[in-house]
Amino acid sequence: MGIKKGGWFMARLTLQLPSNARMVVVSNRGPFVFEETPGGLRKKEAVSGLVSALLPLFRGVPGIWVAWDGCIASGKEINRAYQEGNLKWLGVPLTQEEVALYYDGFANQVIWPLCHYFIEKCIVNSEWWEGYRAVNQKFAAFSKKASGEADLIWIHDYHLALVPGFLRRRGADGKMPKIGFFWHIPFPGPDTWEVIPWARDIVEGLLGADVIAFHVPGYVENFLSCVASFTDATILPNRRSVLYRGRVIDVRAIPVGVNHELFTALGRDETVREQAGLLRRQIGTEKIFLGVERLDYSKGILERLAAFEYFLEAAPEYHGRVTLVQIGVPTRNGIGPYSDLRRQVEMMVGRINGRFGTPSWTPVQYFYRAFSQRELAAFYLAADVAVVTPLRDGLNLVAAEYVVTRDGGSGVLILSRLAGIAQHLQEALLVNPYNVAETAVAFRRAIEMPASEQQARLEALKQRLARRTANAWVTAFLKVVLEHEVGKASAGY
């Protein structure tokens, strides 16, 4: 499982690695989705920002991806392992009870709402915590088995916050690969985390890593505040490192990037462009607004619909001339708040269309389904304005995908100030998604913006995103981890 010098990894990273270097990636869900069918398991590639960013790495580098394969185990642990090219996939078997406690329970009804500042939706449930802890131990055990002589174990996201600490304990008596952790959602400060009794456990679990990274500097500062509040670790003067139990842990802001090559190519693809033209003819209005996200309460869909309704009330001259296309991708079915949100969204869409629609005009066209990246690219090309207005978001790559896909000089991005990516995309029309009137004004401003201003803003956004690609993120993170010297602070201390 060696890496040949001059391959993709070496060319991108420009670091001297041992010829037998190996990598293990660990995440809740992996690069493929498996479904049980009467004819056996059916596999298809998963659609996610993480997968599109990391899969190219394994085209040139042999490695192992440890994740739950989506299938429910019977209780007897049977290792599921698959090989595809350089990538070996090791499935972590989870029972129905484990999924209910770890994923549906603690991950999605405790950590997710807490980190998105929806404390009222956060349920303190000790049984969920024990299930989360047990599954994290299982992931750590599988990761340790997979690591062998690996140089790096790269763990991802809030589902697996305890894995670094468990791995550190398992490797206490032998050689331990470097451990990197990337937290993909917002990370609030200690005043929010102290709502749950297990804040110290989670922070200490993360401190098992050698390098911990977040999207933006604000999350780094919040994490350091939590370290100071909940542990006896020392924050080093450079504000980029923590001294904990004799080890130095680097803490950095390294934002994920868009798959620039993919969406640029899709934006120029003739078939995709034809599909975009067909969409515009089918929708039939002069201007098209587009919203795309999972149907999650953090995404601000209800507030966006309210802003669009406000806009239609205030601008009757645009009746029949504009359409809001809202794509809500199904997620976390069966969890109460998500079922409630779906009903609320459908009721609001019905109300707006009932108030303003005519036999020849449907103001809101709503799709409750998932689309492929190719299909989404057609929507991005068809839309005059992308409306990306989450109430809170770790980063948000939809905004970046829209900008990168656009192949002409037109297109406007309305973006929430509370999305992490807003720090990098200041040329967008930035709004407070809770302020319905402000967002409604942005709707009008976007469709009335002169072509020269659209072109200038879009070009500036494109230039920023050209430097923030998925490849650049992988390269930057691995560079920090592989150059990390165990027991020493990073440069500047």
pLDDT in tens, 442-455: 999 999 999 999 99
Span of 49-53, 103-107, 261-265, 397-401 with lowest mean pLDDT: 49-53
Quick one: tokens of 80? Answer: 């599921």
Of the candidates 470, 473, 493, 488, the residue with the CA atom closest to the CA atom of residue 178:
488
pLDDT at 48 over 80: no
How far CA 80 is from CA of 22, 51, 92, 140, 156, in Å, comes to 20, 19, 7, 16, 20
Query: What is residue 486's predicted lDDT score, i.e. its pLDDT?
Result: 66
| Amino acid type, 251 | V
Residues 251-264, mean pLDDT to the nearest whole number: 94
Query: What is residue 13's predicted lDDT score, i.e. its pLDDT?
Result: 40
pLDDT at 492 over 50: no
- pLDDT, the chain, mean: 89
The residue among 145 and 9 whose pLDDT is bigger is 145
Span of 111-115, 406-410, 464-468, 482-486 with lowest mean pLDDT: 482-486
Of the candidates 254, 253, 255, 236, the residue with the CA atom closest to the CA atom of residue 244:
236
Tell me if 240 sits within 8 A of 211, measured CB to CB.
no
Query: What is residue 37's predicted lDDT score, i.e. its pLDDT?
Result: 74
Query: What is residue 161's predicted lDDT score, i.e. its pLDDT?
Result: 98
Span of 151-165, 297-311, 332-346, 461-475 with lowest mean pLDDT: 332-346
Residues 237-250, mean pLDDT to the nearest whole number: 94
Residues 158-184, mean pLDDT to the nearest whole number: 88
Query: What is residue 1's predicted lDDT score, i.e. its pLDDT?
Result: 29
Domains 8-257+472-483 and 260-467 belong to one CATH topology: yes
**Consecutive H or E run containing 309:** helix 301-314
pLDDT-derived band at 374, boundaries 50, 70, 90: very high
Domain positions in the chain are 8-257+472-483, 260-467
Residues 382-405, mean pLDDT to the nearest whole number: 97
Determine the Cα–Cα distance for residues 158 and 115; give it in Å rounded to an integer.
9
Residues 121-149, mean pLDDT to the nearest whole number: 94
Tell me if 30 sits within 8 A of 52, measured CB to CB.
no
Q: Counting beta carbons within 10 angstroms of the beta carbon of residue 169, is it exposed (0 to 12), middle (13 to 18) or buried (19 or more)?
A: exposed
Residues 237-252, mean pLDDT to the nearest whole number: 94
pLDDT at 172 over 90: no
- The b/e string for 202-227 (b: 16+ C-beta within 10 A; e otherwise) is bbbbbbbbbbbbbbbebbbbbbbbbb
Q: What percent of the chain has pLDDT over 70?
A: 90
Length of the chain counted residue by residue? 493
Residues 86-109, mean pLDDT to the nearest whole number: 92
pLDDT at 369 over 70: yes
pLDDT tens by residue, 58-95 = 776 778 999 997 878 765 555 577 777 778 888 899 99
pLDDT at 491 over 50: no
pLDDT-derived band at 382, boundaries 50, 70, 90: very high
Backbone angles phi, psi at 120, to 5 degrees: -65, -20
Query: What is residue 273's predicted lDDT score, i.e. its pLDDT?
Result: 97
Residues 340-354, mean pLDDT to the nearest whole number: 97
Span of 69-73, 343-347, 479-483 with lowest mean pLDDT: 69-73
Q: Which CATH superfamily is domain 8-257+472-483 in?
A: Glycogen Phosphorylase B; (3.40.50.2000)
Determine the Cα–Cα distance for residues 271 and 276; give it in Å rounded to an integer.
9
Which value, to the nearest 10 degrees, does the dihedral of the CA atoms of residues 48, 53, 55, 57 take?
-170
pLDDT tens by residue, 180-200 = 999 999 999 999 999 999 999
Residues 309-337, mean pLDDT to the nearest whole number: 93
pLDDT at 10 over 50: no
Q: Which CATH superfamily is domain 260-467 in?
A: Glycogen Phosphorylase B; (3.40.50.2000)
Q: What percent of the chain has pLDDT over 90?
A: 74
